Amino acid sequence: MSRHWAALLLLAAGLGEPALAAGSWVADAPAVRVAMVGREAASEVLAPPAGMTAERRIAEVRWRFRVPPGERVGARLCHPRGCVRLAGGRGTSQALAGMAAGEALRFHFERLPGQGPVTVKGLQVIVNYR
């Protein structure tokens, strides 16, 4: 078979198209004051860079945040299509995998019963996509 025909067959099969490169984006948000039991406090949006194409999909998300020593909060990280409960102040999750990487995320925190108001600082996400 000639090279010409082989190239045509690869293109027809979709194998000749360049693959989208994997990458990541990082976003930070200001501190959040969590003051009332039963009412979530949401962070500012953690937005992807401008120009993120719609084809990009989340592979995994890494997060971190800090609370004062001895304090705890309930925490979730939310995408417009769903949320994942966070086990602690830092970690990695594939729970949002397959969702659009070009959408903004937001932290949601809740004060736990028996604790006073808490300020959550150092909010950051790293979104790995493909």
Q: What is the pLDDT of residues 110-121, one digit of tens each?
A: 998 888 999 999
Q: Give 36 or 90, the one with higher predicted confidence.
A: 90
- pLDDT given for residue 60 in this prediction: 98
- pLDDT given for residue 15 in this prediction: 43
Please give the model's pTM, rounded to 2 decimal places.
0.82
Strand arrangement, sheet containing 73-79: 41-42, 106-111, 73-79, 82-86
CATH superfamily of 20-129: Galactose-binding domain-like (2.60.120.260)
- SS3 assignment, position 69: coil
- pLDDT given for residue 19 in this prediction: 55
Tell me the C-alpha distance between 124 and 63, whole Å.
6
Tell me the C-alpha distance between 113 and 34, whole Å.
12
Contacts of 109 (CB under 8 A, 6+ apart): 32, 34, 40, 41, 42, 43, 73, 74, 75, 118, 120
pLDDT tens-place string over residues 32-86 = 999 988 899 999 999 999 988 889 999 999 999 999 999 999 999 999 999 999 9
Domain boundaries, the chain: 20-129
- For residue 63, what is the enclosing H or E element? strand 58-66
